[in-house]
Amino acid sequence: MISMPKRMTGLLSGSGLLAATLLTVGGSGAAVATTAMGAPVPLAQLLSNHAFLTPPTTADCIEQTGLACYAPFQFQKAYNLGPLYKKGFTGKGETIVIVDSYGYQGIGQELATFDKSFNLPAPPHFIVLQPEGPIPPFNATKRPMMVGWAQETTLDVEYSHAIAPDANILLVETPVAETLGVTGFPQIIAAENYVINHHLGTVITQSFAAPEPTFANAQQILGLRSAYKNAAAHGVTVLAAAGDEGPSGPKTLTSQGFANTYFLRRVGEWPSDDPLVTGVGGLELFLNAKGKATQPPAVWNDTALFGSPAAGGGGTSTVFARPSYQNSVKSVVGASRGFPDISMSAAVNGAALVYLSAQAAQGTAGFYLIGGTSEASPEFSGIIAIADQMAGHGLGLINPALYSMEAAGAPGIVDVTNGNNTVTVTQGGATHTVNGWAAVNGYDLASGVGTVNAALFVPELVHAVH
């Protein structure tokens, strides 16, 4: 039995996103969760020195943590990638661009261990780029946010690669941490413009977001969009995680970067609600040991499990009007841009197995359970890389194609009709409910158009874009 504090720790977030590392609480059968989405994570205070030293099975995870976990091969099966792989569509020749504050200096070794453990090939090329200047040395004491960003980087790299195993990976690191509001975004946007201007990749995945009200005004957001305009003009697809607090989001942070208070009303999350970005929401998958679905997917919502907001982001923007490609769903979004556009796996109960080094884990090196929409965005980047390979070029802004496919009932889009993203928030001595949206037939503000059957979705998307 693992020696752990006998309490439940709320999910915290410094960037509106969530990743939870979970291990059995000593004697109680409950679990401890901490974040890894750009927020500092005092793992040493919460986790014992035990980790899964070899990849656990789903049954192992359920037995030891009470939560399901899935390996790359299970996600590949769940998204029906096998037929594409058999035809040689594995992302070969394409480059997935991953953008993270700080990144992590040990990611190469982590990925090599991950690949060996799950029988994945190494990416043909794995390049780390720092166009906005060198990253400060890793120091968990002086720069505690580096721990969370290290874990975020690992998740992004390992699961974009797990979906598109033959795609190149370009990890773009920036020297200023993205937190709430404008902080960190100028460096991120400049780095993305560098990548686009030098034609370094065809899909960019971003596992970060900030609630719109954390910016001083709409003009601040509008002034940060140059990379997205640049991407749309040069055939580059930009993805962003839709957030992990359902319709809410972090309002203020502690001095260490933890979510301190949450919005008690619905808020949009930028950049996932930007009309030039594809917002990726979160699902809970129900898979057996081989990755076959045992029941249909549901909107990710672990709020009841952890007692604090933990659900896929979704809602409408107060900055952006409804783009023309959402006219077919105007009855849902009204006059505003609605998000997410599509959803992938993000649940903590049904988490991705991620290999972390001792430094990144701030404990024992091994396999940990991580969830959140920052899992969903890199997974979808792998799908887009495969589609780019099939098309022979970058697809650029895919949102018009997604909504035309949804309107036409394309079989590659799997409708999600279960679950909701309503969350409860306890602060100021009171418990508040922030009502989200339920998944329904067709488009909704909890799951977007749904999720994917990749073997059908990829050729349909390529055809729709053309």
pLDDT-based confidence at residue 180 (cuts at 50, 70, 90): confident
Confidence at residue 408, expressed as pLDDT on a 0 to 100 scale: 97
Indicate whether 360 pLDDT > 70: yes
Query: What separation in angstroms does the CA of 329 have from each of 48, 280, 300, 448, 462?
Result: 48, 17, 22, 10, 22
Measured between alpha carbons, how far apart are the two ends of the chain, in Å?
56
Neighbouring C-beta atoms of residue 2, cutoff 10 Å? 16
User: What mean pLDDT do residues 348-371 have?
Assistant: 93
Indicate whether 64 pLDDT > 90: no
**Closest by CA position to 272, among listed 240, 309, 310:** 240
Dist. CA 31–CA 54, nearest whole Å: 20
Q: Please give the single-letter amino acid code of residue 366.
A: G
Helix H or strand E segment including 127: strand 126-129
Indicate whether 2 pLDDT > 50: no
Dist. CA 432–CA 427, nearest whole Å: 8
pLDDT-based confidence at residue 256 (cuts at 50, 70, 90): low
pLDDT-based confidence at residue 252 (cuts at 50, 70, 90): confident
Cis before 459? omega within 30? no
Confidence at residue 257, expressed as pLDDT on a 0 to 100 scale: 57
Fold of 23-465: Rossmann fold (3.40.50)
**What is the distance, to the nearest Å, from the Cα of residue 291 to the centroid of all Cα atoms in its chain?**
20
Confidence at residue 254, expressed as pLDDT on a 0 to 100 scale: 60
Query: What separation in angstroms does the CA of 26 have from each of 34, 50, 69, 120?
Result: 16, 12, 20, 34
pLDDT-based confidence at residue 306 (cuts at 50, 70, 90): confident
**Closest by CA position to 273, among listed 247, 234, 304, 311:** 247
User: What mean pLDDT do residues 65-90 have?
Assistant: 96
Domain boundaries, the chain: 23-465
Indicate whether 1 pLDDT > 50: no
**Lowest-pLDDT range, 20-29, 215-224, 244-253?**
20-29
The DSSP output letter for 123 is P
User: What mean pLDDT do residues 247-268 have?
Assistant: 80
The DSSP output letter for 441 is S
User: What mean pLDDT do residues 154-183 have?
Assistant: 94
Indicate whether 66 pLDDT > 90: no
